[in-house]
């Protein structure tokens, strides 16, 4: 089954390459992948995942995993890149995500003749697999990438599906918190990476009625009554203990607060939609399963 | 503008202007010379650069530095004119609402632009055009409120400007609220200013507009001197105050609107440069305007140079640099002034 799925992806990849007229979106092998500048955390993660980190000469500030990325030259924030800065690293290939910008900088890099690829993202398991395949193919490592996907990613994805089948996660109400200040709690609404992550878990986002990351009132949290609350680990410094959170009046009156169902996870692992995201979803599904 | 423009200056002012011309040329060359990409500019004249080096120099660095010069001069010149017209040292393009009008226009295009489907070429110009439209709307509004600037009271215009500013603030605030993550970042970077991604086809129309308007503005110098005596006296001396007001507000709006539309909000230059120049050499406008232009463009070129090299290959927003250089220097000047 795994193999069949792989061929399906390969087929889709080929179709995609034929159908697309913009060279920026293609996954065709690049001529010289020796010096790569990356604008997008998940791409850096994938290059490390595929053991291609030696080729990286520059990364943006969202590329902060793994730890070793700190040693690499930073090209700044992914939406505010400098064309001369990128060219000064003399890359042979520039890999970016959809949000790479500003557009004028992208035009200038294109004009300079350097191979620039923008890897489109769809925030689900298939999207992650596609992204890994595409990068592997651009870098000329289709075979190795295929092995890694078969041996690791597809296994994790299947395991996640099995848990979802066994337990009915569909009825679980989940809330994903981005930041928690006393005055405002910002949560994932519709069309956010947080919403996509909850979907990947197979559960229901209680705040999918509005778009984007927005702050919500304490009353509405009590009213929506989440069963589980996901919190990026970065916010741990203030509300570190689960007990403390459960005692908070706001959470006390929710299912999550009553049972102490607070799950802490690395924010970039959950929301980056690189190889770690599936693993992260699997981990959380297992916690819920217990 | 005639020949006597320069020769009427005091000798101290002549020296200051000459020094500023050299400063300007120096910063221009320094701006061309340096950047994150390593290349020797001398080789450009010997035609020894390879393709990519030529590309960096001609298509990225040259337009960027030249636009920085024009934007710096625009902001400083309009600051000098508005301070003169309002006889108020706090006047700057932000005061009458032009900048916030442009900001509102830009915010519209950043947040809602993707929903209005426009193809290819127009897309590059969508942000600048809507920013200019924003500042034009402000001018029209200002003109309606002041009854075609007939209402000659300066305080009235400034109050109207403040009201327009907060109105634009509401619009920007609302757009910020409905924006998604990417648009929000776009807005916040725009409000700190940047010369990144500037190309020739984007700047040539703007440069021509700024150049023509600047030359036109320089002809107001004498009238601005007279208006310092007070509006009544100036009127008796034959200055058409209403016309002068309309002319200066319109010319400032053009140069500030065009500059802001391309590079975003860059603070402090419009306010501080005219002051510095005045402290250095005096306040007659035939000196003040020229010196502000030269000083403003030199400052902006250097600020942009710092912005693109200090954390290379990344870059800092240039608005941060101008304020970081300008504010302490200004404080030091004020401190010295008081001690004297």
* pLDDT at A10 exceeding the cut of 80: no
Mean pLDDT on A239-248: 63
Residues A119 and A229 in one domain: no
Cβ contacts (< 8 Å) between B113 and chain A: which residues?
none
A115-119 and A56-59 as β-strands: parallel, antiparallel, unpaired?
A: unpaired
CB contact under 8 A, A103 and B197: yes
What is the nearest CA distance from A173 to chain B, expressed in angstroms?
A: 24
What does B14-47 look like in DSSP terms, one character per residue? HHHHHHHHHHHHHHHHHHHH-SSS---HHHHHTT
Secondary structure letter of residue B340 according to DSSP: -
Q: Chain A residue closest to B262 (CA)?
A: A104
| pLDDT top residue among B3 and B269 | B269
In a domain, A114, yes or no: yes
Best of B114, B189, B263, B314 to mutate (most A CBs within 10 Å, chain A): B314
In a domain, A29, yes or no: yes
DSSP H/E element including A263 = strand A262-265
* pLDDT at A111 exceeding the cut of 70: yes
What is the nearest CA distance from A15 to chain B, expressed in angstroms?
A: 25
Residues A111 and A180 in one domain: no
Of A1-5, B2-6, B22-26, the range with the highest mean pLDDT is B22-26
In chain B the domains, ranked by start, together with CATH numbers, are 4-339 (1.10.3470.10)
In a domain, A164, yes or no: no
Residue with tokens 């609350």: A229
Instruction: Indicate the pLDDT class of residue B71, thresholds 50, 70 and 90.
Output: very high
Look at residue B92 in the predicted model and tell me its pLDDT.
76
In a domain, A124, yes or no: yes
* pLDDT at A174 exceeding the cut of 80: yes
* pLDDT at B122 exceeding the cut of 70: no
Residues A10 and A122 in one domain: yes
Instruction: Indicate the pLDDT class of residue A59, thresholds 50, 70 and 90.
Output: very high
Task: State which of A92, A124, A159 marks the end of a domain.
Answer: A159
Q: Is A108 on the interface with B (CB under 8 A)?
A: yes
Q: Chain A residue closest to B61 (CA)?
A: A84
Euclidean distance between CA atoms A260 and B81, whole angstroms: 65
Instruction: Indicate the pLDDT class of residue A165, thresholds 50, 70 and 90.
Output: confident
Indicate the range of A8-22, A165-179, B222-236, B285-299 predicted with least confidence.
Answer: A8-22
- Pairs from B86-91 (Cβ < 8 Å, separation ≥ 24): B86/B154, B86/B157, B86/B158, B87/B154, B87/B227, B87/B228, B88/B154, B88/B158, B89/B275, B90/B271, B91/B158
Residues A146 and A259 in one domain: no
Best of B313, B316, B318 to mutate (most A CBs within 10 Å, chain A): B313
Euclidean distance between CA atoms B186 and B179, whole angstroms: 10
Indicate the range of A217-231, B154-168, B302-316 predicted with least confidence.
Answer: B154-168
Q: Is B122 on the interface with A (CB under 8 A)?
A: no
Q: Chain A residue closest to B50 (CA)?
A: A112
CB contact under 8 A, A76 and B313: yes
Give whole-number Cα distances, A286 to A1, A122, B139, in Å: 24, 24, 62
Q: Is A88 on the interface with B (CB under 8 A)?
A: yes
The percentage of chain A sitting over the pLDDT mark of 90, rounded to a whole number, equals 44
In a domain, A185, yes or no: yes
Would you call the peptide bond into A36 cis, given omega within 30 degrees of 0 as the criterion? no
Q: Chain B residue closest to A90 (CA)?
A: B37
In a domain, A245, yes or no: yes
CB nearest B61 (choices: A76, A84, A99):
A84
CB B189 within 8 A of CB A79: yes
Of A2-11, B135-144, B328-337, the range with the highest mean pLDDT is B135-144
Strand partners for A186? A179, A215
Residues A47 and A98 in one domain: yes
* pLDDT at A7 exceeding the cut of 90: no
CB A86 within 8 A of CB B313: yes
Would you call the peptide bond into A102 cis, given omega within 30 degrees of 0 as the criterion? yes
Instruction: Indicate the pLDDT class of residue B1, thresholds 50, 70 and 90.
Output: very low
Indicate the range of A71-75, A201-205, B68-72, B194-198 predicted with least confidence.
Answer: B194-198
Residues A153 and A208 in one domain: no
Q: List all residues 6 or more positions away from B129 whose beta carbon is below 8 Å from its beta carbon.
A: B109, B261
What does A219-246 look like in DSSP terms, one character per residue? HHHHHH--SEEEEEGGGGGTS--HHHHH
Strand partners for A94? A37, A116
Burial class (CB in 10 A: 0-12, 13-18, 19+), A26: buried
Q: The domain that contains A231 carries what CATH number?
A: 3.40.50.1980
CB B210 within 8 A of CB B329: no
Residues A262 and A195 in one domain: yes
CB contact under 8 A, A88 and B37: yes
Q: Is A271 on the interface with B (CB under 8 A)?
A: no
Q: Is B311 on the interface with A (CB under 8 A)?
A: yes
Task: State which of A159, A187, A211 marks the end of a domain.
Answer: A159
* pLDDT at A184 exceeding the cut of 50: yes
Mean pLDDT on A158-181: 86
Per the structure block, which two tokens stand in for B56? 């960096």
Best of A85, A114, A215 to mutate (most B CBs within 10 Å, chain B): A85
CB contact under 8 A, A111 and B59: yes
Task: State which of A134, A159, A184 marks the end of a domain.
Answer: A159
Cβ contacts (< 8 Å) between B53 and chain A: which residues?
none
CB contact under 8 A, A82 and B61: no
Strand partners for A97? A119
Q: How many folded domains does chain A comprise?
A: 2
Look at residue A35 in the predicted model and tell me its pLDDT.
95
CB A221 within 8 A of CB A185: yes
What is the nearest CA distance from A284 to chain B, expressed in angstroms?
A: 25
Mean pLDDT on A114-136: 91
Q: Chain A residue closest to B52 (CA)?
A: A112
User: pLDDT by residue (tens digit) across B138-168?
Assistant: 888 887 887 776 665 777 877 888 888 899 8
Give whole-number Cα distances, B180 to A9, A191, B115, B159, in Å: 31, 9, 13, 34
In a domain, A200, yes or no: yes
Where helices occur in A142-266 by DSSP H, the ranges are 142-148, 154-166, 193-201, 218-224, 242-247, 249-252, 255-259
Residues A16 and A146 in one domain: yes
Residues A44 and A176 in one domain: no
**Domain boundaries, position A206:** 169-289
Q: What is the 3-state secondary structure (H, E, C) of B244-284?
A: HHHHHHHHHHHHHHHHHHHHCCCCCHHHHHHHHHHHHHCCC
A204-205 and A173-180 as β-strands: parallel, antiparallel, unpaired?
A: parallel
Look at residue B121 in the predicted model and tell me its pLDDT.
59
Q: Is B159 on the interface with A (CB under 8 A)?
A: no
Residues A13 and A123 in one domain: yes
Mean pLDDT on A78-107: 89
* pLDDT at A47 exceeding the cut of 70: yes
What is the nearest CA distance from B204 to chain A, expressed in angstroms?
A: 15
Euclidean distance between CA atoms A22 and B287, whole angstroms: 54
Of A165-179, A227-241, B15-29, B257-271, the range with the highest mean pLDDT is B15-29
Q: Chain B residue closest to A76 (CA)?
A: B314
Residues A149 and A223 in one domain: no
User: pLDDT by residue (tens digit) across B75-116?
Assistant: 999 999 988 888 877 777 777 788 888 889 888 888 887 666
Residues A71 and A190 in one domain: no
**How many residues are present in chain A?**
290
Q: Is B36 on the interface with A (CB under 8 A)?
A: yes
In a domain, A41, yes or no: yes
- Give A 192-251 residues with CB within 8 A of chain B: 192, 211-213
CB contact under 8 A, B37 and A81: no
Indicate the range of A11-15, A182-186, A235-239, B158-162 predicted with least confidence.
Answer: A235-239
């Amino acid at each position: 089954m795994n193999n069949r799925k792989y061929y399906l992806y390969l087929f889709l990849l080929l179709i995609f390459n034929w159908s697309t007229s913009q060279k920026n979106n293609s996954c065709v092998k690049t001529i010289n992948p020796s010096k790569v500048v990356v604008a997008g955390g998940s791409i850096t993660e994938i290059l490390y995942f595929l053991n291609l980190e030696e080729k990286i000469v520059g990364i943006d500030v969202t590329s902060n995993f793994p730890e070793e990325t700190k040693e690499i030259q930073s090209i700044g924030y992914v939406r505010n890149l400098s064309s001369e800065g990128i060219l000064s690293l003399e890359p042979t290939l520039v890999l970016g995500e959809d949000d790479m910008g500003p557009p004028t900088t992208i035009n200038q890099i294109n004009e300079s003749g350097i191979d620039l690829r923008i890897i489109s993202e769809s925030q689900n398991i298939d999207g992650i697999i596609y992204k890994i395949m595409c990068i592997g193919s651009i870098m000329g490592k289709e075979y190795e990438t295929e092995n890694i996907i078969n041996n690791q990613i597809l296994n994790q994805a299947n395991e996640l599906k099995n848990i979802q089948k066994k337990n009915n996660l569909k009825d679980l109400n989940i809330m994903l918190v981005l930041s928690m200040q006393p005055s405002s709690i910002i949560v994932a609404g519709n069309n956010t990476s947080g919403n996509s992550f909850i979907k990947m878990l197979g559960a229901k986002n209680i705040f999918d009625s509005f778009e984007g990351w927005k702050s919500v009132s304490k009353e509405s949290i009590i009213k929506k009554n989440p069963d589980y609350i996901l919190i990026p680990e970065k916010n741990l410094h203030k509300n570190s203990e689960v007990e403390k959170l459960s005692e908070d009046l706001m959470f006390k009156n929710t299912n999550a607060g009553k049972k102490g169902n607070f799950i802490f996870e690395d924010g970039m692992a959950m929301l980056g939609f690189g190889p770690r995201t599936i693993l992260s979803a699997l981990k959380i599904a297992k916690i819920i399963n217990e | 503008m005639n020949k006597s423009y320069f020769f009427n200056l005091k000798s101290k002012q002549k020296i200051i202007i000459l020094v500023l011309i050299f400063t300007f040329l120096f910063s221009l060359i320094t701006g061309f010379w340096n950047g994150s990409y390593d290349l020797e500019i001398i080789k450009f004249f010997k035609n020894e650069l390879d393709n990519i080096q030529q590309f960096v120099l001609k298509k990225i660095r040259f337009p960027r530095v030249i636009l920085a010069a024009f934007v710096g001069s625009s902001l400083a010149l309009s600051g000098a004119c508005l301070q003169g017209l309002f006889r108020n040292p706090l006047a700057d393009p932000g005061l009458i609402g032009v900048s916030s009008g442009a900001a509102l226009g830009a915010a519209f295009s950043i947040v809602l632009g993707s929903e209005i489907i426009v193809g290819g070429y127009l897309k590059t110009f969508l942000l600048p055009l809507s920013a200019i439209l924003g500042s034009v709307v402000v001018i029209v509004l200002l003109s309606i409120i002041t009854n075609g600037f007939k209402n000659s009271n300066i305080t009235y215009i400034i109050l109207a400007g403040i009201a327009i500013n907060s109105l634009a603030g509401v619009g920007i605030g609302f757009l910020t609220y409905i924006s998604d993550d990417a648009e929000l970042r776009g807005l916040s970077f725009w409000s700190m200013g940047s010369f990144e991604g500037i190309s020739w086809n984007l700047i040539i129309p703007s440069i021509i507009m700024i150049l023509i308007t600047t030359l036109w503005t320089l002809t107001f110098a004498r009238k601005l001197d007279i208006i310092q005596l007070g509006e009544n006296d100036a009127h008796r001396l034959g200055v058409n105050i209403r016309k002068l007001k309309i002319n200066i507000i319109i010319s400032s709006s053009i140069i500030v609107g065009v500059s802001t539309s391309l590079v975003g909000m860059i603070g402090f230059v419009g306010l501080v440069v005219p002051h510095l120049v005045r402290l250095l050499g005096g306040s007659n406008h035939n000196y003040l305007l020229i010196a502000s232009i030269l000083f403003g463009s030199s400052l902006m070129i250097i600020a942009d140079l710092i912005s693109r090299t200090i954390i290379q290959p990344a870059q800092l927003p240039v608005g941060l640099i101008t304020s970081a250089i300008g504010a302490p220097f200004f404080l030091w000047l004020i401190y010295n002034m008081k001690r004297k």
